[in-house]
Structure 1
Amino acid sequence: MTDAPLLEIRDVSKTFGSVISLSGVSTTVHAGQVTCVLGDNGAGKSTLIKILSGVHQPDGGELLLDGKPVRLGSPREALDAGIATVYQDLAMVPLMAIWRNFFLGSEPTKGWGPFRRFDRATAIDTTRRELLEMGIDIRDPDQPVGTLSGGERQSVAIARAVHFGARLLILDEPTSALGVKQAGVVLRYIARARDRGLGVVFITHNPHHAYPVGDRFLLLNRGKSLGDFAKDELSLPDLTRMMAGGAELEQLAHELERDPS
């Protein structure tokens, strides 16, 4: 791994009318590392995702990819640059087979001209192989993706992004609707993607999910950065306290205390 970050976010700001969604946010993402972006609802996480995925352009600051300034004008440009975003809804069709979902919109074909047709065998073999390389042993690639658990569906989406050339993987709250066991499944696959050399941006509001896999932590609150920390600069209790708004909670506790008189 080189010292230069795969992605650098420098003082990025974004406003919508009079609403400041992001203000002066900075962090870095290295290849083979996980940068966790934490914050509650309204913290600016969704806006940051959309800037990184090319949906929105920042009003201030800049993005650097491989040390060079880049402007991502659309999601297609982000994909072409190797930035893949896995949203919470996963963009999957529940009633379609796993292998059909894996290649949805990018189907392999064989033959020429009017004889060109979908190459089903290649799609099934590739899906099975790519999932196995990520450590995902599916029972049957023909089963509808809707029959998989939430963690398994997230894992298929991650493997799909890796297969189609992602160098930077942005994960939008992948563990938010999952139980402890299924969240653990997803965290394992995030670690596998990291170990394969990808840079990962893990968006979450749960410090207990972020800390085990994270190498760097950006904390957001109402569009502003509360800090950008390497793992050796921050313990899990510190991260949890900052996420919980330690000072605000202490003030609230004082306000709620009973008057002994």
Structure 2
Amino acid sequence: MGIVNVTPDSFSDGGLWLDPEKAIAHGVDLVRQGADLVDVGGESTRPGAQRVTEEEELRRVIPVITGLVSAGVTVSVDTMRAVVAEASVAAGAKVINDVSGGRADANMVKVAAETGVPFVVMHWRGQSTEMEALARYQDAVREVVAEVEAQAEAVIGAGVRPEQLIVDPGLGFAKTREDDWALLARLEAWSRLGHPLLVAASRKRFLGTLLADEATGELRPARERDAATAAVSALAAAAGAWAVRVHEVGATADAVRVEAALRAARTRQEAR
């Protein structure tokens, strides 16, 4: 899943793709690099980000979705608003990727049920302005899985079909760096939920902290975290993830191919 942020303030590429024509060209290029689908978002969800209006979010994403769909790209929409999700699906989007899992907008689950498209339920405890204060866990893996499971059950109870659901641990959302690593170390814990798993680690702060300058402690800049992102992608694939959501597709596509080749070689060896 390639990322196209049509925003001025996203943490690693804010402003780069704000122009619709540039955003469309970038999305097409991500497919050329190996993306299976492109996730278009018009509102930053980085820690501390302020929300934009519904009208502004629609203005940003609908022309880009329309252009990408016309170019033959499979599109998902990254939004917490039901109106934006509905308009995006009408414009041709095939997936609703809601970082709140249907909690930020009471009408979102209804839209997901009525459209019937795959619906991402991510772990979420609150909006960007408050989420860092909500990163409090006794056992991050157990609690995050349980909270997503409860939300998935609520979404299904409200009319979304179980086969529509995709789950996401929400790396970086109301998580400390240690929580992020713990969740990555235990991706197999999600298998019991029975839904495809989306892993979105790309360029996130826990990677910047890992790669920080040893002398100064300065975090590795976001756009210099793609090799680490590719490593996480390969490990996520090995753990059974359905998809990984990344800014720079080429390196991750190569890393996932390597993992697939190794898995196939092991299968052949075991069959002998």
- Whichever of the two has the greater Rg, that structure is 1
When the two structures are superposed, what TM-score results if normalisation uses the length of structure 1? 0.38
Point out which structure has higher relative CO (alpha carbons under 8 A, 6+ apart): 1
When the two structures are superposed, what TM-score results if normalisation uses the length of structure 2? 0.37
By percentage of residues, which structure has more helix? 2
By percentage of residues, which structure has more strand? 1
